[in-house]
Structure 1
Amino acid sequence: MTDHTTRTTPDDAADRAADPDVDDVTDDSSSDTDATAADAEAIALLHVEPDPRSAEVFSVFVDRSADGIASRSVDGTAAALDAIDEVDCVVTEHRLPDGSGVELVDQIRRRDVDVPVVFHTTCRDPETEAAALDAGADAYFSKRSERDQYERVLERIRGLVGDGTSRTAPATTDIPSGVSASSDAEE
């Protein structure tokens, strides 16, 4: 897993990406033993995102706001498939440099790997959403500019993985009102 000790907000991450001369502030207050124990109990999340800035913002949000979730980012299908046996959940963009999110889900399911796959994507096409769900994705969220988009995705991940329910269990109270398991209601 990637060691994310930088303590910034998602806005700070975007600012830092725009200004490479800004130094990171690290938090060395916790011991390595505490971090290792927390990582062992955390949901191992694989974020498949080709855009480095989007990957960093998501990672910083998870690190700052998502107790019990440890994320790592890769930029494409091949790297995701290489890491699939080490994760509890996958969050993917649809548009990937070496394939698509739908192809990734299809390959994961053909390998008989039983991990939830959640789309968090710029692709708002209903046909792509339907193809993703038909391939075996567990949820589909369109990327938005609202801050709560990350919270909704993480709540869905917790609902799929965190409470130990089967990934095929129907979604009920784990989803915020106004959002379905398969799409955003605000489209």
Structure 2
Amino acid sequence: MSDPEPNFCNIAIVDDDDAVRVGLSSLLRSYGYAAQAYDSAQALLGGAALDQCHCIITDLQMPGMSGIELLEQLRRQGNALPLILMTAFPEEALRKRALQGGACCFLSKPFDASQLLGCLRNAAASVPPPG
């Protein structure tokens, strides 16, 4: 287990699958991250916790608002939070749209912890230091 990232710890997990939310939250906490889980993009956007986030990990396909739609809405609002998209259906056109839209990473499920942690390190590099 590697050391936690000291200046990058608040991760929002958005997925309509309860098992994915619980599993990712547990994994991230084991590496020293704080994780808040949301069952929809609307739940994330509707809460005040978005201001406390340093990164968002979201599923691509969800009812209501997809992960790409969440990304596009955040960017329209001027929010540049790093966003990692994950999907069990990795289509090249969606990957390109996500990355061109500002996603910092596009993960195909299943993925291993090292892939996710690499994405989080990349995301951390794009967040200004506190203070």
Alignment partner of 1:75 out of 39, 45, 57: 39
Amino acid paired to 2:54: D
Question: Any conservation in 2 of the 1:120–1:142 contact (CA below 8 Å)?
Answer: yes
Q: Which residue of 1 aligns with 2:126?
A: 166
Compared CA separation, residues 42 and 135, structure 1 to 2 (3 A): closer
**Separation in 2 of the partners of 1:152 and 1:119?**
12
Question: Once superposed, which parts of structure 1, at least 4 consecutive aligned residues long, lie more than 3 Å away?
Answer: none
Structure 2 contact 82–126 (Cα < 8 Å) conserved: no
Instruction: State the Cα distance separating 1:89 from its structure 2 match.
Output: 0.2
Higher Rg of the two aligned structures: 1
Q: Give the alignment's Cα RMSD to 1 decimal.
A: 2.0
Q: Structure 1: how far apart are the matches of 2:37 and 2:66? A: 16
Unaligned runs of 5+ in 2: none
- Alignment partners' CA distance in 2, 1:41 and 1:129: 28
TM-score, normalized by length of structure 1?
0.59
**Which residue number corresponds to residue 61 of structure 1?**
27
Q: Is the 8 A contact 1:59 1:72 kept in 2?
A: yes
What is the letter of the counterpart of residue 73 of structure 2?
Answer: Q
Matched, 1:141 2:107: yes
- The DSSP-based 3-state class of the residue aligned with 1:85 is helix
Partners of 1:94 and 1:79 lie apart in 2 by 15
Map of 1:127 onto structure 2: 93
Q: Distance in 2 between matches of 1:42 and 1:130?
A: 26
Q: CA deviation at 1:55?
A: 1.0
Equivalent pairs counted in the alignment come to 121
Instruction: Give the C-alpha shift of residue 155 in structure 1.
Output: 2.4
User: Given the alignment, which residue of 88, 107, 119 partners 1:156?
Assistant: 119
The amino acid of 2:64's aligned partner reads: D
Q: Residues of 2 paired with 1:166 and 1:63: CA distance?
A: 21
Q: Give the 3-state SS of the residue equivalent to 1:97 in structure 2.
A: coil
Cα distance per residue 1:130-183 (max 9 Å; x no partner): 111122111101011x6xx1221122212321xxx336xxxxxxxxxxxxxxxx
Counterpart residue number, 1:46: 12
- Give the letter for the 2:104 counterpart: D
1:41 deviates by 5.5
Q: Which runs of 5+ in 1 are unaligned?
A: 1-37, 168-187
SS of match in other structure, 2:103 = coil
